[in-house]
Structure 1
Amino acid sequence: MLTGRYIVLIEDDALMGNSLLQRLELEGAEVTWVKQAVRGIAAVRTPRKPVDAVICDIRLPDGTGEEIFNTVSRTIAPPPFLFITGQGEIDQAVRLLRAGGADYMTKPFEMSAFLGRLAQILRPDENAGLPAQTGISPLARQVDSLVADYARHDKPVLIRGGRGLGKERIAKRIHELSDRQSAPFVAVNAFRDDVSADALVAAFETASDGTLFVNGVGRLDGAGQDLLMEALGQGPFRLIASCGTRIDEKAQAGEFRSDLLYALVAHEIVVPPLAQRGEDAVWLAGQMFKALNERRAAPMRGVSELALAAIRDHDWPGNGRELRSRLLRAMDVATGEWVYPADFFPELNQEDLEVQPLSEARDLAERRQIIKALERTGGQIAEAARLLKVSRTTLWEKMQKLGL
């Protein structure tokens, strides 16, 4: 029944945890069992593979299931949560359902009833057979899953993220997977162009019954926003828009129509930066290298393991755009059959000549090591803390400070 499913179990009671673990594995599931709230947050937010469901006790030694759910929900769309509660915690469980939790069960319960309720909340395995497009990390696979889901309807979509994350490419994939694929895909770039009302109306007409993509929707002036809001209910085209990470601030300041923002965020795709997806940076480098290498008169052998490690550790402030630029340069300047770290990052040769504030250098070094430890341990806070030789509390505080 659960073959191929990945489930996170957050339960501090040894007897209950062992019982659930054994039965879930007997049903074919892969289970990560943690006993503390801080580890539960990490296991769900930075999992080693996409999470199909979370089984979470409400009362834990260092927090509550409600705190876990609320913390996870602030950064990602949470997987289905099945809460386990005592009689005195039913009010809290009901509150969690209203907040987006999937279901709850009151102790004690029959295992057959538990498995039945779990089966009901499991999200469809939409990634099965879905080729990786954005990346191979759980965060990237979630983006690809939403792309496939949103291609099935015609409602407006907002793609949010920093520059260089391929937001227009994601919009095109939604269009190409949709019933509108044979109609035009028209892109309006508010980042590069001064989009007048006349230009926007012309784009509406060109898109016809296809897809209109507005890149940088937050940069439209008031007239442009008014036209877009009016067209949402009348135009034959399907709207997909993109924006940066600060459009909410513009809406709060009155610089962007809040009703237009609400209409867009109902179906939103948030593309995480490459700084949070080291494995995707390596994967993207491999995909780009293969395509570029095929065009060379004298193909190279590949990107060295040392270079891959450097790619994984880099913060990538320019995201995929920076990665492609660095790879092009690296392949041009490489003197042998392999690409090495210095080919990718020539600034490494200048490190001894540059002086950086100690606080910035320390934060950057700590951030890289924490990311590396979390990737190696599959997001397990305690194991990462052990590798880094700090306490779990210290690691958790540093992660919060560094935005991890």
Structure 2
Amino acid sequence: MLNGFRIVLVEDDEIMGSSLLQRLELEGASVQWFKQVRPALGALRTPRVPVDAVICDIRLPDGDGENLFNTLCQTVSPPPFLFITGHGGVEQAVRLMQAGAAEYVTKPFEMPVFLDRLSMLLNSQSDDQADPTIGISAAALRVDELALQAAASDRPVLIRGGPGTGKALVAKRIHDQSDRRAAPFVTVNIARDPNLDAALFAEQGAVRTVADGTLFLQALSRLPGEQQLKLLHVLDDGFDGRIVASCGHDMEQIMAGGGFLPDLFFRLDMLEIPVPPLADRTEDAVWLASRLFDQFNSRREMRMTGISRLAEQAIRAHDWPGGGREVRSRLARAIETASGDHLQPADLFPERIASEDRIMTLAEARAAAERRQIIEALERVDGQIGQAAKLLDVSRTTLWDKMQKLGLSGQSD
């Protein structure tokens, strides 16, 4: 009934918790059991793999389920919650459902009734929601939200972000969720295609073969001037398809230097989706590493157990200048060369071994600590710089200056 689903159980009662754990695992679910709010909160904020549902007692020794749910809602979109409550807590459970929780059951309950409620909740969620596109952080879920909004429209979309941030995944997500999903999704990588004119405009080129589907143009800023004019003419003549393009954050400078036609740029920039760098979404780096670990580990003759906590900490601390491509490359190499049961920091970052005796300077330590604190504040307020400045008790200008020095990005508010 529950095969393949990942469930978090938050229950302090040993008898109730053990009973639920055994039955859920018997039904095929993978279960993490927590007995207090605090460890459950940490696990749900940065899960190693996506969580399909949370089963949570409302009364817990260090708080209550309502506090857990509301705290999660401040920074992430939580998984559906199934609350367990006594008859005296029904009013509270109803209030939680009005706030976005999915379901509740009252004690005592029959196990078949409980399993039916849980199964209905999980199946309805799996029908309505796809896996996260680029991650599980608040910033990544915001990108996914913008992609779904774009899918409901028919205007051109411009996806902006650095290398390895998942722009192609966002483009495919838009197409797959749009009314054009039955038509072709055609990709032209402008930076890599040796014959762009043929790839775009020949008889079997993308402009003709896409029909009323989606044409995805990668590395838009690299499109030569001649092809820019041709594409503009195609749009003027009545293009049946939809264009989704991706680029970096330097298009304005390229246009100012005469390298790109403003008329074409503004035709393609009707809807814009900014994708933050992976360095600003450390929990997404851990999430991606976990997904890739399962993929690469399945190819090993002697399979590993998992990624160690120390390795996860090292993943969070790394800047990931190569984005998701760097995560993939490091994971593939680490799993191929690792000798232990768990991936360790040295497996992922072997270049650090030679300098492991070096002590970080006070300036470096201070910068690293400030970076972590700023990233955490930005994640809590969905990237809004003004609100983050209030949390950090500094002026907006001071925070902006520090973000520029540390290479961080946020949103004006």
TM-score bracket, normalised by the shorter chain, equals 0.5 to 0.7
Q: Across the two proteins, how many residue pairs are aligned to each other?
A: 283
Q: Cα offset for 1:363?
A: 7.6
Match of 2:281 among 277, 282, 285: 277
Residues 1:318 and 2:345 aligned together:
no
Amino acid at match of 1:232: L
- The CA distance in 1 between the partners of 2:297 and 2:71, in whole Å, is 40
- The CA distance in 1 between the partners of 2:357 and 2:377, in whole Å, is 31
Determine if contact 1:158/1:243 at 8 Å carries over to the other structure. yes
Q: Cα offset for 1:266?
A: 1.9
> What's the counterpart of residue 328 of structure 1?
332
Q: Cα offset for 1:359?
A: 10
Determine if contact 1:363/1:402 at 8 Å carries over to the other structure. no
Amino acid at match of 1:312: R
- The CA distance in 2 between the partners of 1:217 and 1:195, in whole Å, is 15
Instruction: Give the alignment of 1:157-176 within 5 angstroms.
Output: 157-176=157-176
Residues 1:210 and 2:213 aligned together:
yes
Q: Secondary structure at the match of 1:286?
A: helix
Specify every segment of 5 or more residues in structure 1 that has no aligned partner in the other structure, as ranges.
1-25, 33-46, 52-127, 386-390
> What's the counterpart of residue 344 of structure 1?
348
Could you state the TM-score of these two structures normalised by the residue count of structure 1?
A: 0.62
- The CA distance in 2 between the partners of 1:161 and 1:254, in whole Å, is 21
Determine if contact 1:197/1:227 at 8 Å carries over to the other structure. no
- The CA distance in 2 between the partners of 1:373 and 1:287, in whole Å, is 23
Determine if contact 2:152/2:178 at 8 Å carries over to the other structure. yes
> What's the counterpart of residue 221 of structure 1?
224
Q: Secondary structure at the match of 1:292?
A: helix
Q: CA RMSD in A?
A: 3.5
Amino acid at match of 2:290: G
Q: Cα offset for 1:360?
A: 8.8
- The CA distance in 1 between the partners of 2:251 and 2:193, in whole Å, is 19
Determine if contact 2:136/2:284 at 8 Å carries over to the other structure. yes
Q: Secondary structure at the match of 1:239?
A: strand
Determine if contact 1:161/1:271 at 8 Å carries over to the other structure. yes
Aligned in 2, Cα 1:170/1:48: closer, same or farther, shift over 3 Å? same
> What's the counterpart of residue 193 of structure 1?
193
> What's the counterpart of residue 242 of structure 2?
238
Determine if contact 2:75/2:379 at 8 Å carries over to the other structure. no
Instruction: Give the alignment of 1:3-402 within 5 angstroms.
Output: 30=70, 48-49=75-76, 129=129, 131-201=131-201, 202-233=205-236, 234-351=238-355, 361=364, 365-366=368-369, 368-371=371-374, 374=377, 392=394, 396=399, 397-402=401-406
Q: Cα offset for 1:267?
A: 0.5
- The CA distance in 1 between the partners of 2:223 and 2:389, in whole Å, is 46
Determine if contact 1:148/1:174 at 8 Å carries over to the other structure. yes
Amino acid at match of 1:181: R
Identity %: 43
Specify every segment of 5 or more residues in structure 2 that has no aligned partner in the other structure, as ranges.
1-65, 79-127, 409-413
Aligned in 2, Cα 1:208/1:330: closer, same or farther, shift over 3 Å? same
Q: Cα offset for 1:338?
A: 0.1
Could you state the TM-score of these two structures normalised by the residue count of structure 2?
A: 0.60
Q: Secondary structure at the match of 2:216?
A: strand
- The CA distance in 2 between the partners of 1:348 and 1:384, in whole Å, is 34
> What's the counterpart of residue 12 of structure 1?
none
Structure 1 stretches (4+) deviating beyond 6 angstroms? 353-356, 375-380
Amino acid at match of 1:402: L
